[in-house]
Amino acid sequence: MLKKILPSNIYEILEHKVNLGSINEIRLREDKPIVLLIGGQRIFLGNNGVTSNLKEAIRPSKIMIEDIIFRASECSIYSVNEQLKKGYLVTKGGIRLGIGGDLVEEGGKVKTMTNFSSLNIRLPHEVRNCSLPVFNNLLSEKGIFNTLIISPPGAGKTTFLRDFVCQLSERNYAYNVLVLDERGELDLGSSGSIGNFADKISFARKSIGFENGIRALSPNLIVTDELGQKEDIDAINFAINSGVSILASVHSDSMDSFLRKPNFDSLIKDRVFKRYVLLSMRNGPGTIEGVYNENFSRIM
Amino acid sequence: MKYLLLTALVAISVFVGFIFSKKYKTRANFFQALVMLCQKFDVEINFSRERLKNIFLGLDEKQKRQLQGIDKNYIAYIDQEIPLEKDSLFKSIKFLKEDEKDLIFMFFKNLGRSDVDSQSKEVKNFQARFETLSSNALVENKKYGSLSIKLGIIAGLVIVVLLI
């Protein structure tokens, strides 16, 4: 998919002069150097591959940025307007484009985004077995503990969730899993990406997705990414009260900062989550810093 | 033998007239198909928000024929097989004037590049212009289409008379 959305000259440099599989992010800003994030390191992209020399860095034009967005929308910007309003766009293969530009408001509501000026292309990776070190810690006698994956942005939350669902499938845990893929990032569309026992609801708000999913698909486990809003917490409570387990993720860089996060007080006080997995980028994305129980005591 | 030759001459004249008349009919059908395409876009963009490629693929066979391959060329552009240029878009189309090509090219060039509201307004704007071209083409077809066949017959008969 990356080949389809990037200008051919940029793609060829990435393919032949940089290890494409090692790239986590590609940042393009109008007339500014292209920056690659590789294994936690930021480096410029030049015509001969990666470079630390600012003068050699390729600088994308506004037209190039607009064209990438146009291509990523499959030549149909209008069809992804709801995503653009939230400042991102997800392609078929799960490549996520964070987009900078001008938000157009009308009557107090965001109507669309125009005048695109920057892009953060995040390349998803299937890191097989990345959840294995903690896999058994998340299983209870009755099923799966309600679990929250805590990590800063780009540290592998989504990859962890995806792999965990896959591991369940590979081990023939025939739980009915509902993947609520609000931003279209969890399922890469490749074979086996979310295993054999998962249903998927994409691009729905958690409040709607949880309610519809529980009623229609009767899952044992709901997997979802990036909790944050009050309505997400209400959706979690709705699921828990319906007897469904939750595996979710949240942005935070430590247990302390997580405990100070707004909206999560009731979940913490009621000990809704029985397991917390803390990820970091210390040794590259996906570094498992620890597993904690509902009392926030470290168990691994 | 002589009569056979004369009959052939009349037939050729009528055929030439028919070719000219077909050009007018094809033009009328083409613009009519463009108008219908705009109507379809407007509905799909506003309601299903279907992607352009799927809209083109979902056209019925008659409409595809009337569009004279322009839909296939545009899909090839979406699939990154060809660049979006006038020559590649109108590859097999000979009956359009330059200003008509410019207008249609502009329409296809702007497709898919804006949000729902702007795209819908843009499509309606082009639709109005295609409607004008379509009614002009219909008038031309009525006027010159049948005239071409008649002229073909007359020309054939004149040649026959002259030869006799």
Over the stretch A108-131, which tens digit does the pLDDT of each residue have?
A: 999 899 999 999 999 988 888 999
Q: What is the pLDDT of residue B16?
A: 82
Give A73's contacts in chain B (Cβ within 8 Å): 51, 112
Same domain, A138 and A78: no
- pLDDT-based confidence at residue A190 (cuts at 50, 70, 90): low
The reported pLDDT for the residue numbered A185 is 82
Which chain A positions have a beta carbon within 8 Å of B112's beta carbon?
70, 73, 75-78
Q: Domain range holding A110? A: 2-122
Instruction: Select from A75, A81, A114 the Cβ nearest to the Cβ of B116.
Output: A81
Convert the pLDDT of each residue in B12-51 to its tens digit: 887 887 777 788 899 999 999 999 999 999 999 999 899 9
Q: Is residue A76 within 8 Å of residue B112, measured between CB atoms? A: yes
Could you tell me what percent of chain B has a pLDDT over 70? 100
Q: Do residues B14 and B152 lie in contact, with contact meaning Cβ atoms separated by under 8 Å?
A: yes
Alpha-helical runs (H) found in chain A: 2-5, 8-17, 62-72, 81-85, 132-135, 157-170, 206-217, 230-241, 255-259, 265-269
Of A187, A185, A241, the closest CA to residue A210 belongs to A241
A166 shares a domain with A268: yes
Rounded to whole angstroms, the Cα distance separating A157 from A148 reads: 10
* Residue A269: half-sphere exposure toward Cβ, Cα within 13 Å: 8
User: Is pLDDT above 90 for B72?
Assistant: yes
Residues A204, A147 share a domain: yes
CA distance A76 to chain B (A): 4
Give per-residue pLDDT as tens, A132-158.
Answer: 999 999 999 888 999 999 999 888 899
User: What is the overall mean pLDDT for chain B?
Assistant: 90
Residue A298 falls inside a structural domain: no
Tokens of A68: 């990438």
By C-alpha distance, the chain B residue nearest A7 is B80
Q: Which two tokens stand for residue A203?
A: 């691009």
**Which band of pLDDT confidence, cut at 50, 70 and 90, is reported for residue A209?**
very high
Using alpha carbons, list the distances in angstroms from residue A127 to A11, A124, A164, A285, B88.
Answer: 23, 9, 11, 10, 43
Number of domains in chain A: 2
How large is the average pLDDT for residues A44-65? 95
Contact A78 B53 (CB under 8 A): no
CATH number of the domain to which A285 belongs: 3.40.50.300
Q: Are residues A91 and A145 in the same domain?
A: no
pLDDT at A61 (0 to 100): 96
Higher pLDDT, B17 or A295: A295
Mean pLDDT, range B51-57, rounded to an integer: 95
Are residues A207 and A109 located together in one domain of the fold? no
Contact at CB, A81 and B49, closer than 8 angstroms: yes
- Which chain A positions have a beta carbon within 8 Å of B118's beta carbon? 112
**How confident is residue A33, by pLDDT bands cut at 50, 70 and 90?**
very high
For residues A149 and A61, membership in a common domain is answered with: no
Residue B109 clears pLDDT 70, i.e. is over it: yes
Containing structural domain, residue B140:
2-163
pLDDT at A300: 87
> Comparing B22 with A30, which gets the higher pLDDT?
A30
Question: What total of structural domains would you count in chain B?
Answer: 1
| A174 and A156 part of one domain | yes
pLDDT at A191: 56
| Position A170 pLDDT exceeds 80 | yes
The residues pairing with A120 across neighbouring beta strands, listed in sequence order, are A27, A98
Q: Name every residue whose Cβ is closer than 8 Å to that of residue A49 and which is 6 or more positions away in sequence.
A: A13, A17, A18
pLDDT band at A174 (very low <50, low <70, confident <90, very high): confident
- Domain-embedded: residue A274: yes
Residue for token digits 């049948």?
Answer: B146
Residues A69 and A155 in one domain: no
Q: Which of A69, A101, A122 is the last residue of a domain?
A: A122
Averaged confidence pLDDT in chain A: 92
pLDDT digits (tens, 9 = 90+) for A229-281: 999 999 999 999 999 999 999 999 999 999 999 899 999 999 999 999 999 98
Q: Tokens 């691994």 map to which residue?
A: A300
pLDDT for A192: 60
Smallest CA–CA distance, residue B74 to chain A, in Å, is 11
- pLDDT grade for A171, boundaries at 50, 70 and 90: confident
Q: Which of A122, A144, A168 is the last residue of a domain?
A: A122
Do A62 and A31 lie in one domain? The reply is yes
Is residue A299 in some structural domain?
A: no
Same domain, yes or no: A94 and A148: no
Interface contact B127, partner A, CB < 8 A: no
Phi, psi of A186 (to 5 degrees): -75, -45
Together in a domain, A184 and A104: no
B21: its two tokens: 């008349």
> What is the pLDDT averaged over residues B119-144?
93
Residue A127 lies in a domain: no
Please check whether residues A52 and A157 belong to one and the same domain.
no
The answer to whether residue A42 is domain-embedded is yes
- Give the residue-averaged pLDDT of A43-64: 95
Mean pLDDT, to the nearest integer, of A54-59? 96
User: For residue A69, what pLDDT is reported?
Assistant: 96
What is the pTM assigned to this prediction? 0.80
Tell me which residue in A4, A77, A112 faces B113 most closely, judged by beta carbons. Answer: A77
In the predicted model, is pLDDT for residue B1 greater than 80? no
Structure tokens at B90: 């109108």
- Average pLDDT, stretch A1-25? 91
Contacts of A78 in chain B (CB under 8 A): 45, 49, 112, 114-116, 119-120
Nearest-Cα residue of chain A relative to residue B119: A78
pLDDT-derived band at A296 (thresholds 50, 70, 90) equals: very high
Q: Show residues of chain A in contact with B115, CB under 8 Å.
A: 77-78, 81, 84, 111-112, 114
Instruction: Return the structure tokens found at A281.
Output: 């980028």
In a domain, A44, yes or no: yes
pLDDT band, very low/low/confident/very high, at A288 (cuts 50, 70, 90): very high
